[in-house]
Amino acid sequence: LQGSHPFRLEYFQKKANKGLALAWFSNRAKNLHWLTEDTTVTKDKQRLPIPIGPVGERPTIYRNFITGTTPRSIGVAFPGGITLAYSADHFAPELLWTGAFLDGANKWAERGTADNPPAGQNVVHPTKARALPENAKFTGYELDSAGNPTFTVSIGSGTLTDSYHAAPNSLVRTLTLTGGGPSVDLLVSDKPDEATLTISAEGATLEKSKNRTSLKLTPGKPVTLTYRWK
């Protein structure tokens, strides 16, 4: 293009569109005057999914933003289609679902800013609030020989280990409080969805008050919670 006045064109690709169209207008001539033959841009074809899931008999760990939980979330996909998203901010499995795990294309095929919701079914939000006292601090996690995770939280002078493994149509969670210090209250659920999921406990009594379900953790006494889909 050549005209009477030099100009400089700067642009960036905000979305996944291809092509560049150029036009001008003035206060007197409000309609666009196209300087290029193409007056539209071409959108990409529909993006193909990049499914993430377990490899063989080992769970897959996903460290990135997951829609529906806090920024510090850790996704775990177990063989058999059982999945959890653990919140390191709230010390709880804030999302549980079955079937497919996540679509990695939301993060890997573009700029990495898109939401990344669960890709499966039967999504349940057991809790949305902090599950442990204010002095609790997330200290990390480890995997056992089978790849099952154990999350660790310090609570004053005590340490809480929070372990998970999958069973048929259910998720098994084992909590063990060690070290000195008093018993600790644990929020189990504040979003009851008994039509989809049931929660049972061994080693402690589930205490229900309105929409909240909690239990008391005593040092040296493990507690097992089983989350079972109906």
Q: Identify the DSSP state of 221.
A: -
Q: Dump pLDDT digits (tens) for 61-86.
A: 999 889 999 999 999 999 999 999 99
Closest CA to 66 of 119, 21, 27: 119
> How far is it, in rounded angstroms, from Cα 224 to Cα 200?
8
> How far is it, in rounded angstroms, from Cα 221 to Cα 178?
8
Q: In the structure encoding, which two tokens stand for residue 159, read together?
A: 């340490």
> How far is it, in rounded angstroms, from Cα 124 to Cα 58?
23
> How far is it, in rounded angstroms, from Cα 63 to Cα 48?
22
Q: In this structure, are residues 215 and 204 in contact, taking their beta carbons and an 8 Å threshold? A: yes
Say how many residues make up the chain.
230
Query: Mean pLDDT across the stretch 91-111?
Result: 87
Q: In this structure, are residues 99 and 148 in contact, taking their beta carbons and an 8 Å threshold? A: no
Q: Dump pLDDT digits (tens) for 11-30.
A: 666 555 566 777 777 767 66
Predicted TM-score of the model (pTM)? 0.79
Q: Dump pLDDT digits (tens) for 178-187.
A: 997 899 999 9
Domain limits, the chain: 51-229
Please check the confidence at residue 37 and state whether its pLDDT lies above 60.
Answer: yes
> How far is it, in rounded angstroms, from Cα 223 to Cα 181?
17
H or E element that contains 197: strand 197-202
